[in-house]
Amino acid sequence: MSKLSLILSICFSCLLLSSCATNTLYSWNDYEDAAYKYSKVESEEHKKKLLKQFDKMKKQTGSRKTVPPGYYAEYGFLLVKEGKTEEGLALLKKEIELYPESTIYISRIIKQLEK
């Protein structure tokens, strides 16, 4: 093995190993479990878990101190389903404000809800 190939393989190994230690951008906590349970049976418990996770994520250090994409939209949609349309629409608009890439999708939902 030549020196060049040895050096390249060492550099590649270091690069590969350093990419495993990245810091996450968002903290999802136990969202996946809560969403799965909610998809099986709608419950007040899911709403409470979302609220608890909102508070937990805002208090965390080391993250962006904002909730991940989709949280405001999901909670807003739950509020709309409960008849709290104004609060729900406000959260859907907050989702667009924080994550502009969701504008097309969330705007369609808002238009349908405002009819």
Q: Which of 106 and 50 is assigned the larger pLDDT?
A: 106
For the whole model, what pTM was predicted? 0.60
Token pair listed for 2: 């030549």
What's the pLDDT tens digit per position in 39-91?
666 667 777 777 887 777 767 655 566 778 888 888 888 888 889 999 999 99
Residue 92 included in any domain: yes
Residue 14 included in any domain: no
Read off the pLDDT band of 115 (50, 70, 90). Answer: confident
Residue 94 included in any domain: yes
For residue 107, report the phi and psi dihedrals to the nearest 5 degrees: -60, -40
The DSSP output letter for 99 is: -
Residue 2 included in any domain: no
Q: What is the CATH number of the domain that holds 39?
A: 1.25.40
Task: With both helix axes pointing from N to C terminus, report the angle between 71-81 and 85-98 in degrees, rounded to the nearest 10.
Answer: 170
Residue 46 included in any domain: yes
Residue 55 included in any domain: yes
Number of domains the chain contains: 1
Residue 11 included in any domain: no
Residue 108: domain span: 27-114
